[in-house]
Structure 1
Amino acid sequence: MRSATLSRRTPQGAPAPHALSDTELVLSGDVPLRDLDPWPLTVATYNIHGAVGTDGRFAPGRIARVLQEIKADVVALQEVPLGGSAQPDVLALLKEETGFFAVEGPTMKSEERRYGNAVLSRYPILAKESIDLSFGSREPRGALDADIDCHGHMLRVIATHLGLKPAERRAQIKRLLQAFDTDQAPVILMGDVNEWFMWGRTLRWLVSHFEAAPAPRTFPSRLPLFALDRIWISPRQRLLQVHVHRTALARVASDHLPLVAHIAG
């Protein structure tokens, strides 16, 4: 799936078990799968705001419950606490609660605090690569590039969180588009692109590469006004539907609402 310039690292360990629904089954002790055919695949992107809700409470359990509501097969997460001496590892909790495979892409790394992007997947994650999107003295940013094996159907997922300044986002998109310069498909880009303007240059570049995709509003979660969170797929015809997950729990669990898409095989 990946070009030769990208290194690979295979995640270690099996995912934790979780409660099974009537439509799930376990294959050879692996993560529960709803059936042997992964299509249509449900994917989502979710900025979890450090698991701090709109009520100011740190409550990672609410994020886990929102993920259970979504029932996605692959989830890109942003603003994820990844452990350290001064904070818990929220990704570890979400992995345990969902029973999914998980990989991380920290953008802030210190002894006290690790923080950044992550991908959760019902299906095995075969490889990952962190792409540094940092820009000058601005807050460190990055993308997490993961190869996922959906019952022999290879899927490349890039989870990202772009910067707040227009010049910053332009440089970051140029770097990402270089990573997409490959014949490998399908490729899914998901994340918080922080583009407040409908026809900002970064969005025009992405639409030129991926074609236009639905962009419902996701921020702020209580009364969404801006489409900050996006999902694109190449080839475009595989994108069936995009919608925002709006529930009472999702409106309080984070300052962003999850964005969900259904993808054809």
Structure 2
Amino acid sequence: MKKQMKLRNIISAAVLLFALPLSMMGQDQLRIMTFNIRSFEPNFDIQPYAEKLKAETPDIICLNEVENRSSRQQKNGKYRDLVAELAQKLNMFNVFGYSYNLSNKDGKLPEEQFRYSTNELYGNAILSRYPIMAVQAMQLPRPTGSADQRGVVTADILLPSGKIIRVACSHLDHVGGQLEQAEVLITDKVKSATIPTILCGDMNMGPGSAVINKLLTAYDRLDSDEGSFGHYAKIDFILGSKNHWKMSECRVLDNYQGSLELSDHCPVLSVVSLK
């Protein structure tokens, strides 16, 4: 059964690949966005988020603070997969990466009790214009002094050129434990030794910090120092595995759609290409 599923995935990806315009087949340039969405609060209407993101024609979107299938997001008494809804509006593939269950935010109960839960989920997500061939989600260390359980999700993505890249999306703690969490992000558990890798997310630390310096032992910056949290603090990053990528443009967008504030973070957009 697993072999059949894998074969179907490969065939589906091949069909999608050949369905792309010929003008795109040789392109390895990507428009990458990272955005801490603050759980789609306050009313969980994803339409303004879709409009904001779609206007930038991104190829890959990494989302932090993703609350998914939670009780307070229900509509007509039914749980909603907001990541899938957003991906559908943007005509993109998607993967959600579980960090913790909202019913166990304080982590006092054994994780095994929530491992197979399908509701009350919290974590990160990746949306891709191109087929996602493999995924992995894992929890990061939660040392004493950190606030929440954090995680990272990865997606291996098939580009129109036929090359495969890996995209990792993570959100480090805002109180403590960031260095221990960053140490995992530079290992082969996340960064592939053979596949060019992009790492995006809210690192809750700025340029020059021990946390970012740790990440820069394995990644290059593919962004700018312009503030993305309240337009003054640079904590949302787009990084690329060393010597694989070059950046031609980076912009920090405003965090509004019309008069609606979408988040306390601003989306960051970088245009990158493989070397």
Q: Tell me the residue number matched to 1:18.
A: none
Question: Cα deviation per residue 1:179-217 (whole Å; 9 max; x = unaligned)?
Answer: 35643231101001011x432100111223223442321
1:131 and 1:174 map into 2 onto residues whose CA distance is 14
Say which SS state the counterpart of residue 187 (structure 2) adopts. helix
- Farther off after superposition, 92-101 or 200-209: 200-209
Structure 1 28/162 Cα, relative in aligned 2: closer, same or farther at 3 Å? closer
* Aligned-residue offset at 1:134: 3.8
Whichever residue aligns with residue 183 of structure 1, its letter is A
Instruction: Give distance in 2, aligned partners of 1:34 and 1:45.
Output: 26
Query: 1:16: which partner in 2?
Result: none
Deviation digits for residues 149-187 of structure 1 (CA, Å, limit 9, x no counterpart): 002111111100000134x10000111111356432311
**1:10-49 counterparts in 2 under 5 A?**
35-49=24-38
CA–CA distance in structure 2, aligned partners of residues 46 and 36 of structure 1: 28
Structure-2 residue corresponding to 1:228: 235
Query: Which of 253, 263, 268 lines up with 1:245 in the alignment?
Result: 253
Task: Give the Cα separation in 2 of the matches to 1:68 and 1:37.
Answer: 23
How many Å separate the matches in 1 of 2:248 and 2:203? Answer: 21
Where does structure 2 lack aligned partners over 5 or more consecutive residues?
A: 10-14, 74-79, 104-116
Question: Does the residue aligned with 1:91 lie in a helix, a strand or coil?
Answer: helix
User: Counterpart in 2 of 1:263?
Assistant: 272
Where does residue 51 of structure 1 map in the other structure? 40
Q: How many residues align?
A: 236
Cα RMSD (Å) of the superposition? 2.8
* Structure 1 position 94 matched with structure 2 position 101: no
Separation in 2 of the partners of 1:76 and 1:121?
9
Question: Residues 125 and 182 of structure 1: is their aligned pair in 2 closer, same or farther, counting only changes over 3 Å?
Answer: closer
Tell me which residue corresponds to 2:111: none
Structure 1 residue 135 and structure 2 residue 121: aligned?
no
Would you say the 8 A contact 2:183–2:215 is kept in 1? no
Q: Match for 1:211 among 210, 216, 220?
A: 220
Deviations 1:23-68 (A, max 9, x none): xxx968968998333332111111111112xxx4433211111111
Question: Counterpart of 1:67 in structure 2: which amino acid?
Answer: L
Aligned to 1:83: 69
Q: Partner of 2:39: helix, strand, or coil? A: helix
Local SS of the residue matching 1:116: strand
Aligned partner of residue 195 in structure 2, secondary structure: coil
Identical positions, percent: 27
Is 1:107 the counterpart of 2:96? The answer is no
- Residue 202 of structure 2 corresponds to 192
- Verify the 8 A CA contact 2:132 2:155 in the aligned structure 1: yes
Measure how far apart 1:241 and its partner are: 2.3
**TM-score, structure 1 as length reference:** 0.79
Alignment partner of 2:54 out of 68, 75, 90: 68
Mark the runs of 5 or more structure 1 residues left unpaired by the alignment.
1-8, 14-25
Cα pair distance change 1:113/1:30, threshold 3 Å: farther
Q: 2:22, 2:50 → 1: CA distance?
A: 18
Q: Please list the CA deviations of residues 221-265 of structure 1 after superposition, one character each: whole Å capped at 9, or x if unmatched.
A: xxx110110001122642222221237418711211111111123
Distance 1:30 1:46, change over 3 A: farther
Pair 1:30–1:101, CA change in 2 (3 A) = farther
Q: Secondary structure at the match of 1:92?
A: helix
CA distance in 2, matches of 1:212, 1:74: 17
Q: Supply the distance in 2 between the matched residues of 1:64 and 1:254 (Cα, whole angstroms).
A: 14
Q: Distance in 1 between matches of 2:26 and 2:65?
A: 32
SS of 1:264 mapped into structure 2: strand
CA–CA distance in structure 1, aligned partners of residues 96 and 127 of structure 2: 9
Q: What is the CA–CA distance in structure 2 between the aligned matches of 1:217 and 1:33, rounded to whole Å?
A: 38
Q: Which has the larger radius of gyration?
A: 2
Question: What's the TM-score once normalised by structure 2's chain length?
Answer: 0.76
